[in-house]
Amino acid sequence: MITKFLTNKLKNHTMKKLMITLVAAFIACTAFAQVPEQLQKGNILIAADGTSVGIRFTNGVALNINGTGGYFVADKLAIAGGIGLNVASTESVAGEWGETSSSTTTTTFDIGAGVRYYFLANSRGGLFATAMFKVTVGSGDPVFGVNFNGGYAFFINKNISIEPLMIIDLPFSKGADVNFGIGAGFSLYF
């Protein structure tokens, strides 16, 4: 009984040491790594994800085209504003055999503001995460929500990156659709 207790305490203590060491190593690697020229304070970011085809959690699909402009207020951290065009198609299914009873296409526009941060960035690229508060207008009442996306920026040269990304839109309005998608985009850095 005492041996088992001591063995578990030793395992927990060893795991705590391992976790602290891993967290310290991660912080040291990110804090002291040289920031790529593209992501330095004072630079400008212009981004577009032009093929964001998403799956809706209701029946249908969505196509989103978004543009973002930002300013690096600190190394790897940009404040940003964005606009977007969204075209969504939904189907109402009726019948035992899946016959379609109706189809609806809606077009809406987004405008928002948020931040983008780059993680583990080097001269070849880096992971990024973006969070934007936005309002969607165009069909009915305005819908407020938040958009999260993240991906990897592959730096082609010092001014251009290609970015595969994942997107999730979370509306604050009851009954509005949550959208999840994958996309590709590019960014320009000045």
Residues 10, 99 within the same domain: no
Count of domains observed in the chain: 2
Residues 18, 69 within the same domain: no
Distance of CA 61 to the CA centre of its chain: 19
What is the average pLDDT score of the chain?
82
Residues 18, 45 within the same domain: no
Q: What is the DSSP letter of 94?
A: -
Categorize the per-residue pLDDT at 147 as very low, low, confident or very high, splitting at 50, 70 and 90. very high
Whether pLDDT at 190 is above 80: yes
Residues in the chain: 190
pLDDT tens digits, one per residue of 86-123: 887 777 666 666 665 677 888 999 999 999 999 989 99
Question: What is the reported pLDDT for 6?
Answer: 44
Which domain range does residue 92 map to?
A: 36-189
Residues 68, 25 within the same domain: no
Residues 12, 47 within the same domain: no
- The pTM for the full model equals 0.73
Residues 14, 108 within the same domain: no
Residues 61, 122 within the same domain: yes
Residues 22, 74 within the same domain: no
Residues 103, 150 within the same domain: yes
Measuring CA to CA, which residue among 178, 147, 158 is closest to residue 80? 147
Lowest mean pLDDT among 48-52, 95-99, 139-143: 95-99
Residues 66, 27 within the same domain: no
Return the SS3 of 55.
strand
Residues 13, 107 within the same domain: no
